[in-house]
């Protein structure tokens, strides 16, 4: 049996027996290995895609989370990719779902790894085609000028990193203090 923090199951997906954490022959890292059939269960991070939509007046869009984790905090629209869509398509779809907003002209802003959460977050800057409104998983939306970003109410470290990168592209810095 295993208590690996990122394991989605304690049982083998091939034969249903228990899993143990050990280094398979020829490997260098501990893996989840089936005690019965020896099948190796590799744990790979999941990709998340999102956008920072920017309006013609230079304001950027954030959404306030209506779900855990970090309920009530602000984040850019984003979520887990589905099989069959590109990262750009996933980012645009999540923006449509969470902010009722269409975007285009997506350009890569950054790729951020949250090692403990097991996710890789791909963030695009995008052109907003409208003003949007609160969508699923969102209690409200907000358009923020670069000097009005609510730094103390951001949801995740990736939110901080992406917004700092967005400011950096404009030669701006996060306010001190």
DSSP state at residue 170: T
Contact pick of 23, 37, 145, 148 for Zn ion (by CB under 5 A): 37
DSSP state at residue 85: S
Rounded-to-integer distance, Cα 106 and Cα 51, Å = 8
Nearer to Zn ion, 20 or 100 (CB): 20
**C-alpha distances out from residue 61 to 36, 85, 108, 148, Å:** 51, 23, 16, 11
Kindly report the CA angle at 122 between 134 and 119, in degrees rounded to 5? Answer: 95
Contact pick of 36, 47, 118, 146 for Zn ion (by CB under 5 A): 36
> Look-up: residue for tokens 């350009």?
107
Nearer to Zn ion, 39 or 161 (CB): 39
Please report whether residue 34 would count as binding Zn ion according to CB under 5 A: yes
Rounded-to-integer distance, Cα 144 and Cα 24, Å = 50
Q: By CB under 5 A, which span of 8-16, 46-54, 67-75, 102-110 interacts with Zn ion?
A: 8-16
Please report whether residue 67 would count as binding Zn ion according to CB under 5 A: no
Please report whether residue 40 would count as binding Zn ion according to CB under 5 A: no
Please report whether residue 15 would count as binding Zn ion according to CB under 5 A: yes
Residues that bind Zn ion (CB under 5 A): 12, 14-15, 17, 34, 36-37, 39
């Amino acid at each position: 049996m295993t208590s690996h923090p990122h394991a989605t199951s304690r049982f083998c997906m091939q034969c249903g027996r228990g899993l143990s954490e050990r280094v398979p022959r020829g490997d260098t890292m501990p893996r989840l290995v089936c005690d019965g059939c020896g099948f190796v269960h590799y744990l790979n991070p999941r990709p998340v895609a999102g956008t920072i939509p920017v309006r013609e007046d230079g304001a950027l869009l954030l959404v306030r989370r209506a779900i855990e984790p970090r309920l009530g905090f602000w984040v850019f629209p984003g979520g887990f990719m589905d099989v069959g869509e590109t990262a750009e398509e996933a980012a645009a779809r999540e923006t449509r779902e969470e902010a009722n907003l269409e975007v285009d002209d997506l350009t890569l802003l950054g790729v951020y790894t949250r090692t403990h959460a097991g996710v890789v977050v791909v963030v695009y800057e995008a052109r907003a085609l409208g003003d949007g409104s609160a969508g699923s998983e969102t209690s409200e939306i907000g358009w923020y000028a670069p000097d009005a970003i609510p730094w103390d109410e951001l949801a995740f470290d990736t939110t901080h990193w992406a917004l700092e990168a967005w400011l950096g592209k404009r030669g701006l810095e996060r306010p001190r203090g």
